[in-house]
Structure 1
Amino acid sequence: MEELTKAEERIMQIFWKLQKAFVKDVIEEIDEEPKPPYNTISSIVRILEKKGYLSYKAYGKTYEYFPAIDKDTYGKQSFKKFFANYFDNSASSLLSFMVKEEQLSESDLEEIKKIINQNS
């Protein structure tokens, strides 16, 4: 699947939350003021449909959209790309980064150890 732009991903987050929506419903969910124009959101929605992320049901000239890919599937695909691109598919590089930069708590580290031990 094609990668999403930040704007497209933001709109997909709304669809995953609502499960199905008309463009006007998506606009209502956007937190920023002023709200983006209807045509802008409608264009993004059509792009998402062309990319295979959304499907729709037509009611005359009105379309109700819904996710064609679930959030977990997208998250896994995105993480795999991120992991490969930024950590060279190295779990130790990722964990090292998390420990150094994210300042994991002792309880976080214990939880990670527990997960590792359960899956060994």
Structure 2
Amino acid sequence: MEELTKTEERVMQIIWKLKKCFVKDIIDAMPDEPKPPYNTISSVVRILEKKEYVGYKAYGKTYEYFPLITKSEYRKESLKKMLSGYFDNSAESLFSFMLKEKQLSNEELNKIKDIINQNK
């Protein structure tokens, strides 16, 4: 699975949310003002199609796009890359980093403990 740029990932997040969409729908779903040009988003979607993240159905010269990769699949691959690239494939290092960098509430810590206990 080829890595996405920040812009590609932002567009992909919208496509996952919409499930099926046209370029205009993607632009409408973007919170940024001013909105990016149609051609810019169209180019990003074509790149996502070449990377095999999205497929399309043609209606004449208009294309309806849909995800080929689920958000869950992408999240799994991204986490694997982050774990290997930054934490030497050590979940312990990742959790240690998270605990040091983010002050977790007792409730959050208890939820993490419950998740660990359920997955033993």
What TM-score range do you get, normalising by the shorter chain?
over 0.9
Letter in 1 for 2:100: K
Q: 2:49 aligned with 1:49, yes or no?
A: yes
Q: TM-score, normalised by structure 1?
A: 0.95
Distance 1:79 1:91 in 2: 10
Unaligned 5+ segments in structure 1 are none
- Partner SS for 1:104: coil
- 1:106 matched to 2:100? The reply is no
Question: What does the per-residue CA deviation read over 1:2-59, in whole Å, with 9 as the maximum and x for residues that have no partner?
Answer: 1000000000000001001011111111111111111100000000000000000000
Deviates more, 1:64-73 or 1:87-96: 87-96
Deviations, residues 49-70 of structure 1 (Å, cap 9, x unaligned): 0000000000011110000111
Partner of 1:30: 30
Name the Cα RMSD after superposition.
Answer: 1.0
Q: Distance in 2 between matches of 1:74 and 1:10?
A: 13
CA distance in 2, matches of 1:119, 1:33: 44
Matched, 1:58 2:65: no
* Unmatched segments (≥5 aa) in structure 2: none
Equivalent pairs counted in the alignment come to: 120
Q: Distance in 2 between the 1:33 and 1:115 partners? A: 40
User: Scaled by the length of structure 2, what TM-score is found?
Assistant: 0.95
Shift of 1:115: 2.2
